[in-house]
Amino acid sequence: MDRTGGLLNVVDVEATCWEGTPPPGAVSEIIEIGLTVVDLERGVRRARHRLLVRPARSTVSAFCTELTGLTQDEVDQGADFADACRELAARHHAGERPWASWGDYDRHQFTRQCAAADTRYPFGHRHTNAKAVFAAAHGLRKRPGMAQALRIAGLPLEGRHHRGEDDAWNIAALVLRLAERGAWPDVP
């Protein structure tokens, strides 16, 4: 295995959202980063982490709270986005380890928000879209959502759906199932 020791960071973010159009001047911002460390060599989920992030240009709507369970008071206690990115790099080796997310939303959200906040992108270039790998491994033309993928794989949904920490944990279970089948790609 490579110098990362077979470890993979599985990341899932939750961001401010609205039922309809965002309020004037508001933009979607990351408010929670869930991260599960997967040991691909041993086939286990090693650790789960949660970083709360304080939004700078938006607030948590009632719709967002209903969806994620996160409140404005809760995220107000979080780190600012730049500090959260620095923590991902320093504590979670985000720039060194390969990483995966369910789809490309999380990667694109980080790219957009880093550019807007003039913050260094915390991840390396080795990203895998777990949703695409799952669909290909199962011969699916349409890429399923995470909850549907868990049902297809015969795995339980652990925790609360649309909670970053829990979703990263569940995506990690799907990654390990794919690895068991020999369907998880080696990331150079």
For 118-173, write each residue's pLDDT tens digit: 999 999 999 999 999 999 999 999 999 999 999 999 999 999 999 999 999 999 99
The long-range contacts involving 48-51, CB below 8 angstroms and separated by at least 24 positions, are: 48/165, 48/168, 48/169, 49/92, 49/165, 50/164, 50/165, 51/78, 51/79, 51/84, 51/87, 51/88
Architecture of domain 7-180: 2-Layer Sandwich (3.30)
Q: Are 60 and 29 contacting, i.e. CB atoms less than 8 angstroms apart?
A: no
**Strands, DSSP E only, in the chain?**
7-15, 30-39, 44-52, 99-101, 127-129
Domain boundaries, the chain: 7-180
The long-range contacts involving 103-106, CB below 8 angstroms and separated by at least 24 positions, are: 103/129, 103/130, 103/131, 103/132, 103/143, 104/129, 105/13, 106/11, 106/12, 106/13
Arithmetic mean of pLDDT, 97-125: 97
Mean of all residue pLDDT scores within the chain: 96
Single out the residue of 43, 44, 45, 46 nearest to residue 182, CA to CA: 43
Asked if pLDDT for residue 93 goes beyond 90, the answer is: yes
What single-letter amino acid sits at 35? L
Question: Residue 5: its pLDDT value, please?
Answer: 77
For 20-52, write each residue's pLDDT tens digit: 999 999 999 999 999 999 999 999 999 999 999
Single out the residue of 143, 9, 13, 144 nearest to residue 68, CA to CA: 13
Question: Residue 1: its pLDDT value, please?
Answer: 39
Q: Which residues contact 88 (CB under 8 A, 6 or more apart)?
A: 33, 35, 51, 94, 122, 123
Question: Residue 186: its pLDDT value, please?
Answer: 85
Question: What is the rounded CA–CA span in Å between residue 79 and residue 81?
Answer: 6
For 52-92, write each residue's pLDDT tens digit: 999 999 999 999 999 999 999 999 999 999 999 999 999 99
